Structure 1
Amino acid sequence: MKNPVYFHAAQFVAVFALFLLAGCSSIPALVPDMAMRPSRPVQLDGAHGPLSAAQSKTILARLKNNATETNIFDRHLALESELVGSPLVVGNKVTLLVDGPTTYNAMFTAIERAKNHINMETYIFEDDEVGQRFAALLMKKQQSGVQVNLIYDSVGSINTPKAFFDTLKQSGVNVLEFNPVNPLLARKGWDVNRRDHRKLLIVDGQVAFVGGINISSVYSSSSFRRVKITKKNQAWRDTHLRLAGPVVSEFQKLFMATWIEQQGEPLAPRDYFPVSKNYGHEVVRAIGSSPEEPYSQIYVTLLSAINNAETQVYLTNAYFVPDPQLLAALKQAVQRGVDVRLLLPATTDSALVFYASRSYYDELLNAGIKIYERQDALLHAKTALIDGVWSTVGSTNLDWRSFLNNQEINAVVLGQDFGLQMQVLFEQDLASSKLITLESWRKRPVSNRIKERAARLWARLL
C-alpha cells in the first residue's frame, strides 16, 4: 500500500514543498570496480556465532550443488557482506506466505502462543476488522503478562483514529508513533518525508514475520480465487515470510535500533535475545535500511546481485520507478544473456506511481526486458529471484522513496530449495498476467502517454 492519502489537485502544493525538501537527496553510486574486486571467503554465522572457514565452505558448496551456473556465491556474497555488514545466518526455517489470509492466520497463531514478548513494527495499522482483531489479541496477550511493543508509522496510519492507539496504550501495550506528522511532537528535526515502511513481527525472539503486508482489511481476500473480481472485492496479491531460527535475533536488533532512535519509552525487561537454536537448513540475511545511513543497504545488495546474475533476474514489485543505476543494471544483464522479467501491477492504489512506472516501459522493452502485468488482483508484493538461488522478500519497493526516504526491511534467502518455491510462485503469477510487447505498447492512447510524462516529473517523490 503506497500511501493511504490520495492525491488531489490541492495536494500538489504540499508535494512541491516535499520536492524542495528532497532536492538534495540522491541514490549513492556503486563504484564499478567494487563488483570486480577479488572476493574474500564468505563467512557464515550459526546459532552459537561465526562458523569456521571449513564449515562455511561446506555449506556454500551444498547450496551450489546442482544449482544453475552462477557467480552469486563466489563474488556477490563477499561484496554484499562488505556493503551490508549483517551476517549470513544458517539454521533457519523459512515458510513462504502468499496473500493476507494465510499470513494473518500464521501471525495470529504465533501471537496466541507468545509467552514472553511481542514486537510489532508496521507502516499501516488500520482501525478496521483486521486491525481490531490484531488489537484485541495484542491487548489480550499484554494483560496475560506478555509484553507487547508496537511501532506504527505516523503517515502510513494517518487515517487511524488516535483513540485506537490510546486504547492499546491503556491496556499496557508500549506504543511508539514513528516520526509524528504533528511537528509539535517531533523528537528531532521535523521531516514528514521520512517514514517507517517496514512490516515486522517478532514473537519471543524465536519467530519473525517479514514482507509486504500491512495490518489492513484490504488483504482479507486471496488473489488466486476463482471468482469474478470487482472493484468492491478486488484481492491484493502480496508475499510475506515466516522465519524461525538464529536469524530472528538480527531482525530483533533492527527493531530495537528503531525503538532507540525514535526515543521510545524504555522497554520492559524481557528475554528479547533468547539462546538461539537451529530450526532448519536455510541460510538467511536480515537487511534493514534507513535514511540515517550513508546509503540504502537493500538497494546496493539488490544492485550487486543483479550485476552478478548469470541466468535470470525475476523482479516482482508493486511500485517500479527505477533510478538510472537500476535501469542500467537491468539492461546490462540482458546484454550478458540473462533472462530479465518484471512482474508489475495492471491496477494500483496510486495513479501517479502507476503512470510514472509505465513511462519506463518503452525503454525497458526496447532493451529486451520482458514485462508482465498481473491481472485480476492488485499486486503489492516486493520480491526478487536471481539465478534460482538468491531470493529476497520484504517491504522495499523499487522506487526513489524506498531507497532514499523510507526505513525498509528485507530477508535474503540463499539456496535452490527456497528458490524453487519462489520460481513456482512467480510462474503462478505469470499465468494470471499479461505479457506487454513493444509493438502493442506503442499503440497505447495518447492520453496515457501524457499521463506518463506528467507522472515522470514526480518520480523522485513517489
Structure 2
Amino acid sequence: MERCHLMAGLRQAFAHRLQARMRRGLLLLAAMTALLLVGCGSLPRINPDLAMRPSHPIRVEGAYGPLSNQQSKAILARLKLGADDTHIFERHLALVQEMGGSPLVVGNKVELLLDGPATYASMFAAINAATDNINLETYILEPDEIGQSLVDTLLVKQRTGVQVNLLYDSVGSLSTPKAFFQPLLDAGVHVLEYNPVDPLKARKDWALNERDHRKLLVVDGKIAYVGGINISSVYSAGSFGSPFARSRKARHTQDGPTWRDTHLRIEGPVVADFQKLFMSTWEQQKGDALNGRQYFPQLGNKGREVVRAIGSSPGDPYSLMYVTLISAINSAESQVYLTNAYFLPDPQLLTALKDAAARGVDVRLLLPGKSDSDLVLYASRSFYRELLSSGIRVYERQDALLHSKTAMIDGVWSTVGSTNLDWRSRLNNQEIDAVILGQDFGNRMQAMFEQDLQASRQITLDAWENRSLLSRLKETGARLWARLL
C-alpha cells in the first residue's frame, strides 16, 4: 500500500497538481532530479568497534532527568539480574549509548501490539481518554471507515476542549481529498501537510522525494504509539496467528489480503522524547505555534523497560536508526531476527548479515511472500541466493501481507518502528523507531517472531536454485531499480 501510494502520488503530483502551476519541462526536470538524488546519497561507513566497551560510564535518564553514576549502576545491575548473559546485555547497552542522539531512558512500560485491530482499539481508547492534547503524525490517512472513525473521534475531543494537532504526509495521503480535513479545521484542529507536492505551497526548498513516513501518536504527553501501522482500513482484519484476528470467514470475505503489522504502546519518561520528535517536525514544517497546553507533563516511572526514541530525517548526515541497527548486528553473538516489509539492502547491511552468520550467529530474515509492490518483491528476492549461500535463513510470510519493521538481537536488543530496510528509508524518509533493551521484552519479541514463522515458508538454497527462468528475469530487472524503490 505504501509503495502504491508513493508511485501513484508521484504520478498524480505531476499530472494533476503541479502541471497547472509550472511549465511541463521544468516539472519533468524537477521530478528526474528528485529521483536521481536517491542514487546519489551516500551512507556512512560504520566502525564495528562501536559496540565494545564504552569510553565513559553508561548513563541513563529517569522520570526526573539524568541519573547519577551510582543510580545508573544500581538500575543496570537490577536489569542484568534478569538476563541469561549479562555480558551481552551490557554490550548492547553500551552500543546504544555510544550511537549518540536521544538518551537511554528507564522506567517505561512497553506493550507489544499485533496487527491493526489491537492497535486501533488501544489508540482509540487512549484518544477517548485524552484530557489536554493529542498529537498525531502519519504517512497515510485514508478517507475510509477507519479514517472517518478517527476524524469523528478527534472532532469530539476537540469540541470538548482537547487540542488536536494532525501532521500527515502529502504523498502518502494524496488520495485523501482536502474536504476530508475541513471539518477538523473548522473545529479548531491544527492540520499540517508535510512537504506539499505543490511547490508553490512548499515551506522550504521543494523536495518531492522527501517524505514523512513516521507513524506516531502522543496523547496528553503521557502515552506514545509507534510502529508500522497507518490509518487505513486495510489493517482492519488481523493476520493468521494473531490473537486479535477476525474469523476465517471474515478474513476471506474482505477486499484484498489481510495485513500483518506491529505497533507499540509506551508509557513512561521516554514519551517526552517522542513528543520532542513530533514538535521538531511540526516546527520544521512551520506549523501553527503549539502553545498553552501541557505537552510535557511530569512523567513518573511506569515499568522496567529501558527505551530509546530514535528519529531519522533526510536532513541528517545519516539515518541514526540504520547506523544503530548495523552496529547491533555487528555486535551480535547469538541471534539476529529481522522482520521487514521492504528488504532492499545496501552493501553494508549485506556484509553485516553475512559476517554475523559467518561468526555462528543464527541470522533469520522474515520477509513478505506477497507485497503491495511486485517490483519491490522481486528486487528483494534478487538478494536471496547471496543470503542463503552465506548460511542466512530466509522465510516468507504466506497468509498475510507482511508490513512489520522489527528486529530482535541476542534476546536483549529489540526495535519496532517505521523504518524499512531499503534505500528510501535510509536516505529520503522521516522515520521513527523505539529501541528497547532487556530480556523480558526480548522474550516477547522472540515469541512474536516464532509465531510468524509458523505461518511462513522457509526458502532453501536448493529450492531457490530451481526457480523458474521467468522469476529470475523479473528479479534481475527489478534489481536495477532497487535504489529508486
Work out the CA distance in 1 between the residues paired with 2:330 and 2:85.
Answer: 15
Work out the CA distance in 1 between the residues paired with 2:31 and 2:81.
Answer: 51
Work out the CA distance in 1 between the residues paired with 2:213 and 2:257.
Answer: 23
Pairwise CA distance, 1:83:
2.3
Structure 2 match to 1:362: 385
Structure 1 match to 2:339: 316
Structure 2 match to 1:2: 2
Structure 2 match to 1:169: 185
- Name the amino acid aligned to 1:236: W
- Name the amino acid aligned to 2:444: Q
Aligned-partner SS, 1:5: helix
Structure 1 match to 2:365: 342
Question: Aligned pair 1:57/2:73, yes or no?
Answer: yes
The verdict on how the C-alpha distance between 1:119 and 1:38 changes in structure 2, with shifts beyond 3 A counting, is: closer
After superposition, what is the alpha-carbon deviation per residue over 1:150-171, rounded to whole angstroms, capped at 9, x for unaligned? 1000010011011111221111
The verdict on how the C-alpha distance between 1:438 and 1:68 changes in structure 2, with shifts beyond 3 A counting, is: farther
Q: Could you tell me which of 121, 146, 152 is aligned with 2:162?
A: 146
Work out the CA distance in 1 between the residues paired with 2:108 and 2:393.
Answer: 33
Question: Aligned pair 1:271/2:294, yes or no?
Answer: yes
Question: Aligned pair 1:423/2:446, yes or no?
Answer: yes
Structure 1 match to 2:213: 197
Aligned-partner SS, 1:340: strand
The verdict on how the C-alpha distance between 1:90 and 1:38 changes in structure 2, with shifts beyond 3 A counting, is: closer
Is the deviation greater in 447-456 or in 31-40?
Answer: 31-40
The verdict on how the C-alpha distance between 1:94 and 1:369 changes in structure 2, with shifts beyond 3 A counting, is: same
Is the deviation greater in 38-47 or in 178-187?
Answer: 38-47
Structure 2 match to 1:91: 107
8 A contact 2:239–2:259 mirrored in 1: yes
Pairwise CA distance, 1:255:
0.4
Superposed counterparts of 1:133-282, under 5 Å: 133-224=149-240, 225=245, 227=248, 230=252, 232-282=255-305
Q: Could you tell me which of 326, 351, 357 is aligned with 2:374?
A: 351
Pairwise CA distance, 1:282:
1.1
Aligned-partner SS, 2:40: coil
Unaligned ranges ≥5, structure 1: none
- Name the amino acid aligned to 1:30: I
Pairwise CA distance, 1:455:
1.1
Pairwise CA distance, 1:47:
0.2
8 A contact 1:372–1:434 mirrored in 2: yes
Work out the CA distance in 2 between the residues paired with 1:376 and 1:387.
Answer: 28
8 A contact 2:51–2:98 mirrored in 1: no
Q: Could you tell me which of 455, 458, 462 is aligned with 2:481?
A: 458
Q: Could you tell me which of 111, 116, 132 is aligned with 1:100?
A: 116
8 A contact 2:405–2:419 mirrored in 1: yes
Pairwise CA distance, 1:33:
4.5
8 A contact 2:311–2:433 mirrored in 1: yes
Is the deviation greater in 292-301 or in 24-33?
Answer: 24-33
The verdict on how the C-alpha distance between 1:331 and 1:314 changes in structure 2, with shifts beyond 3 A counting, is: same
Pairwise CA distance, 1:372:
0.5
The verdict on how the C-alpha distance between 1:148 and 1:7 changes in structure 2, with shifts beyond 3 A counting, is: closer
After superposition, what is the alpha-carbon deviation per residue over 1:129-182, rounded to whole angstroms, capped at 9, x for unaligned? 000000000011011100000100001001101111122111111000000001
8 A contact 1:70–1:309 mirrored in 2: no
Aligned-partner SS, 2:37: helix
Question: Aligned pair 1:289/2:323, yes or no?
Answer: no
Aligned-partner SS, 2:78: helix
The verdict on how the C-alpha distance between 1:203 and 1:287 changes in structure 2, with shifts beyond 3 A counting, is: same
Pairwise CA distance, 1:337:
0.9
After superposition, what is the alpha-carbon deviation per residue over 1:302-333, rounded to whole angstroms, capped at 9, x for unaligned? 11111111100000000000111111000111
Work out the CA distance in 2 between the residues paired with 1:233 and 1:265.
Answer: 39
After superposition, what is the alpha-carbon deviation per residue over 1:63-113, rounded to whole angstroms, capped at 9, x for unaligned? 333534375443443343232321111111111100000000000100000
- Name the amino acid aligned to 2:158: Q
8 A contact 2:159–2:187 mirrored in 1: yes
Aligned-partner SS, 1:315: strand
- Name the amino acid aligned to 1:179: N
Work out the CA distance in 1 between the residues paired with 2:256 and 2:34.
Answer: 34
Superposed counterparts of 1:118-129, under 5 Å: 118-129=134-145
Aligned-partner SS, 2:42: coil
Work out the CA distance in 2 between the residues paired with 1:37 and 1:62.
Answer: 19
The verdict on how the C-alpha distance between 1:17 and 1:70 changes in structure 2, with shifts beyond 3 A counting, is: farther
Is the deviation greater in 159-168 or in 219-228?
Answer: 219-228
- Name the amino acid aligned to 2:45: A
8 A contact 2:378–2:478 mirrored in 1: yes
Pairwise CA distance, 1:249:
0.3
Aligned-partner SS, 1:221: coil
8 A contact 1:39–1:75 mirrored in 2: no
Aligned-partner SS, 1:288: strand
Q: Could you tell me which of 63, 81, 94 is aligned with 1:78?
A: 94
8 A contact 1:234–1:378 mirrored in 2: yes
Structure 2 match to 1:449: 472
Structure 1 match to 2:21: none
Question: Aligned pair 1:42/2:25, yes or no?
Answer: no
- Name the amino acid aligned to 1:110: A
After superposition, what is the alpha-carbon deviation per residue over 1:213-235, rounded to whole angstroms, capped at 9, x for unaligned? 00000000010246265583521
Work out the CA distance in 2 between the residues paired with 1:166 and 1:260.
Answer: 22
8 A contact 1:39–1:74 mirrored in 2: no
Aligned-partner SS, 1:209: strand
Structure 2 match to 1:433: 456
Work out the CA distance in 2 between the residues paired with 1:281 and 1:66.
Answer: 11
Work out the CA distance in 2 between the residues paired with 1:359 and 1:216.
Answer: 30
Aligned-partner SS, 1:107: helix
Pairwise CA distance, 1:35:
4.1
The verdict on how the C-alpha distance between 1:323 and 1:393 changes in structure 2, with shifts beyond 3 A counting, is: same
Pairwise CA distance, 1:211:
0.4
Work out the CA distance in 2 between the residues paired with 1:440 and 1:451.
Answer: 17
The alignment's C-alpha RMSD in Å is 2.0
Work out the CA distance in 2 between the residues paired with 1:54 and 1:37.
Answer: 18
Superposed counterparts of 1:368-383, under 5 Å: 368-383=391-406
TM-score normalised over the length of structure 2: 0.91
TM-score normalised over the length of structure 1: 0.96
